[in-house]
Structure 1
Amino acid sequence: MQTIYAMHQHQSDNLEKEEKFLFASIESMQDLYLLMLSALIEIQSKEEEYLDLVSKKHLATKEEKNPSSKFTQNKFLQLLKNSESLLDKIDARKINNWKQNDDIILFLIDAVKESQLYIDYMSKSKSTFDEDKFFIADLFTQIIAPNEKLYEYLEEYKLTWLDDVPLVNTMILKQIKQVKETQEEFKVTKLYKDEDDKDYAKALFRKTVLNEVELSKQYIDKTPNWDTERIAEIDTIILKMAICEFLKFPSIPVKVTINEYLEIAKEYSTPKSSIFINGILDNLVKDLKTEDKLVKTGRGLL
């Protein structure tokens, strides 16, 4: 949707160029995923360095000489830190942002240590793997992910990440909660579920762009109370993509298509857009069924 919108704004008809932009944007989402995970690793590493330095101070207090290492030895953080597959992926994608911007990490450490979550966690001498895991999950959700300084950095570094942050953070949180103590490594989530997943993205983009005129004819007559020139451009793109799925993707259920695009409309368009789009798609589905143009394979897809 965003790539098609960008094409319209730039009045571009270079399909191959825009397709490259689409897949580059998708790949950059995995970089954000790796960057957020690497922040957890870097927080642990920086705090470990700090505790080591403090313990070696010339006039160190008794507490400073024997600081609590409960946080740095957190079992989940240790799993993350020692996960070769994760570290290899971070290295392969050249995710070294925090080495160059350690002020962000130091700021996050301060925020963590000032939190009641951290104070409560450190007050207990021991904890189980699950307690360690859920502590990091809460810390990520309540302190790290919503941190304004981190958010400002992400926005400044790559503008396209702003739309990806909620999805990436949700994915990471889900993974943290699912990790088992018996796991030897933290498994990096694949960018695509399988090759069909990637082919779908390419096919939806191409089929929508190459058939825009044909697709727009499907909804123009369904908007008698709306001036088509005044319909928000994002709404027209959403409609075209949804109609494209109706007509050219027989394996995708109608209800799935409608629900997905209504969610997109709520997220990216005007407050009334989802109601407007839902009305048009509902009427269109009825007409397509009547005209026997809605061909779906498999049971229950209509």
Structure 2
Amino acid sequence: MINRDLIRIRIVQIVYAWYQNSNNNLKNAEKELLFGFQKSYDLYYYLLLLMVKLTDMYESRIETKKNKFLPSEEDLHPNTHLIDNKFIRQLKTNNHFIHYLNNRPMSWKENENFVKTLLDNILESETYKTYSELENPTYDDDRDFWRKTFKQFIYNNEELDEILEDESIYWNDDVEIVQTFVLKTIKQFSEENGADQPLLPMFKDEEDKRYALKLLDETILNEKKYRSLIEKHIDKWDLDRIAFMDMIIMQVAVAEILSFESIPTRVTLNEYIEIAKAYSTPKSGSFVNGILDAIVNEIKKDNLIFKH
């Protein structure tokens, strides 16, 4: 689940913090990096849990209405499509889901007002109206309802983003990426898999985890070498006027270019140019692009790398 885009962003942040901290320790930086990845993975489960919480809240609401002193006909015979939703039932009994939440308990209890408002919005929507009017929803209908609902009401929900950012400083930059993984997970669910439906692993494979730790170590341990290479190509610029974040981004990029033969140079350049655009100044993208391009041309000329 934690892809290389997220890895690069997290390493830039860790290296930035490294230079702000006077008591540096590489092992601690590695632990902080892995802890951040764990928190990102928690967010994935927290968003899956939100769909379960919405369903449970609706069921509780139905029960309360049934037990009123004078329940209406609608109270006594409510639409139960949400409660009977086969996708949610499968998620609630999913072995990976249950095991993870047992080991890392999490709850939406502190944000029940948000969940209540979110449920109200869903129930008032055309998406729900269409779903509720189905006579006998199939598994695909149930799953598709939650895919549409997640995309319409949860993905890029500004209020939710603020709640998540308040919950964890590690989630500030993860929300949108992790939400796309939840949508991918919903799409991949299959009724035949039952409780054994695979959920996304923290890393695609051990190689990505090794890549993350190696990139962090190379960036920090070879600081002088990489900074020297960068500074050679910014001799026309006043170092004091260059954004500190730009220097960090270029240092991590150079570490990747020189340390990972299997990653095409153009891929690396494109990724760090995008990070510069998103996390530094408005002009950082073109600046970082120009400097990194010059560095790549030099190290290719000196036969320090042989990849494209």
Same fold, TM exceeding 0.5?
A: yes
1:154 positional shift: 1.4
State which drifts further: 217-226 or 135-144: 217-226
Q: Is the 8 A contact 1:242 1:258 kept in 2?
A: yes
Q: Is the 8 A contact 1:141 1:173 kept in 2?
A: yes
Superimposed CA distance per residue, residues 205-248 of structure 1 (whole angstroms, 9 cap, x where no aligned partner): 11101111110111212124422222111111111111111212
Q: CA RMSD in A?
A: 1.8
Question: Which residues of 2 match residues 94-133 of structure 1 at below 5 A?
Answer: 94-95=105-106, 97-133=107-143
Q: Indicate which of 2, 5, 9 corresponds to 2:20.
A: 9
Q: Identity of aligned pairs, percent?
A: 36
1:7 positional shift: 1.4
Superimposed CA distance per residue, residues 94-126 of structure 1 (whole angstroms, 9 cap, x where no aligned partner): 12x224543332222122112222222223323
Aligned to 1:298: none
Aligned to 1:183: 193
Q: Indicate which of 71, 76, 80 corresponds to 1:65.
A: 76
Question: Match for 1:152: what amino acid?
Answer: E
The whole-number CA distance in structure 2 between the counterparts of 1:18 and 1:230 is 28
SS at match of 2:156: coil
Question: Which residues of 2 match residues 223-238 of structure 1 at below 5 A?
Answer: 223-238=234-249
The whole-number CA distance in structure 2 between the counterparts of 1:152 and 1:223 is 38
Aligned to 2:4: none
Question: Match for 1:32: what amino acid?
Answer: L
SS at match of 1:71: coil
Q: Is the 8 A contact 1:85 1:188 kept in 2?
A: yes
Aligned to 2:144: 134
The whole-number CA distance in structure 2 between the counterparts of 1:63 and 1:278 is 62
Question: Match for 2:82: what amino acid?
Answer: F
Runs of at least 5 residues in structure 2 that lack an aligned partner in the other structure:
1-11
State which drifts further: 157-166 or 144-153: 144-153
Aligned to 1:41: 52
Greater than 6 Å deviation, 4+ residue runs: none
Please tell me whether residue 168 in structure 1 is matched to residue 168 in structure 2: no
The whole-number CA distance in structure 1 between the counterparts of 2:241 and 2:60 is 59
Q: Is the 8 A contact 2:185 2:199 kept in 1?
A: no
Q: Identify the structure with bigger relative contact order (alpha carbons < 8 Å, sequence gap 6+).
A: 2
| Count, aligned residues | 296
The whole-number CA distance in structure 2 between the counterparts of 1:173 and 1:212 is 39
The whole-number CA distance in structure 1 between the counterparts of 2:120 and 2:23 is 47
Aligned to 1:214: 225
Aligned to 1:155: 165
Superimposed CA distance per residue, residues 275-297 of structure 1 (whole angstroms, 9 cap, x where no aligned partner): 111112222211111111114xx
Please tell me whether residue 145 in structure 1 is matched to residue 155 in structure 2: yes
Question: Match for 2:300: what amino acid?
Answer: K
Question: Match for 1:82: what amino acid?
Answer: T
Please tell me whether residue 276 in structure 1 is matched to residue 287 in structure 2: yes
Superimposed CA distance per residue, residues 145-177 of structure 1 (whole angstroms, 9 cap, x where no aligned partner): 333443232122212211110111011111112
Runs of at least 5 residues in structure 1 that lack an aligned partner in the other structure:
296-300
Q: Is the 8 A contact 1:38 1:90 kept in 2?
A: no
SS at match of 1:234: helix
Aligned to 2:3: none
Aligned to 1:257: 268
TM-score by length of 1: 0.92
Q: Indicate which of 81, 101, 104 corresponds to 2:92.
A: 81
